[in-house]
Structures are given as structure tokens and as C-alpha cells.
């Protein structure tokens, strides 16, 4: 999966977790706080992302995930087996 495709999938995934938001307003620079996620919501978002994208967020690295782009970068650097093809 190329970066543009991954970006589109992550943005669509995050948009599905936010009520009443236009997907076109979500960018890689969008911070979770700006999208209405508090710290508990962010943890749940990351759990859901793990399941959806087949990745495991490392406990130490997860602290640095603050934006849509951070998730995309993490998945790009730690792709699950089915995305490596």
C-alpha cells in the first residue's frame, strides 16, 4: 500500500470515529485534540487502529502519537505483514 492510499484509509478511519465531521477537513496535521479526542478517546482510537490496521503500537512510542500524520508514519514504519506486500 502506498503512502497516499494509507493516508486516505487512516483519515477515513478517524473520520468514522468523529461525529459530524467533513472528511476533507481532516489532514495529516490534524491533532487529536483538534478533532475532539480527549486522552481516553485517543487511547480508544489507538486500540481501534491496532485492530483495523493490524499494527501494535509500542507503549513508549504511543506517547508521541498526537496527530493523524503520526499514526500514518507509525504504520508506514511498522507495517503489518499483509501491508508489506
**Distance in angstroms (rounded) separating the CA atoms of residues 44 and 4:** 24
Q: What is the pLDDT of residues 10-67, one digit of tens each?
A: 999 999 998 888 888 999 999 999 999 999 999 999 999 999 999 998 878 888 899 9
**Distance in angstroms (rounded) separating the CA atoms of residues 19 and 6:** 22
Q: Evaluate whether 34 touches 25 at the Cβ level (below 8 Å).
A: no
Segment (H or E) for 20: none
The CATH architecture that domain 3-19+26-83 belongs to is Orthogonal Bundle (1.10)
Q: What is the pLDDT of residues 61-84, one digit of tens each?
A: 888 899 999 999 999 998 886 555
Amino acid at each position: 500500500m502506498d503512502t497516499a492510499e494509507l493516508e486516505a484509509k487512516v483519515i477515513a478511519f478517524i473520520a468514522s470515529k468523529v461525529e459530524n465531521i467533513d472528511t476533507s477537513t481532516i489532514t495529516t496535521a490534524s491533532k487529536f485534540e483538534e478533532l475532539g479526542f480527549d486522552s481516553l478517546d485517543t487511547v480508544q482510537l489507538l486500540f481501534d487502529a491496532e485492530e483495523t490496521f493490524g499494527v501494535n503500537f509500542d507503549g513508549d512510542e504511543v506517547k508521541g502519537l498526537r496527530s493523524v500524520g503520526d499514526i500514518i508514519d507509525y504504520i508506514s514504519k511498522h507495517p503489518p505483514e499483509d501491508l508489506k506486500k
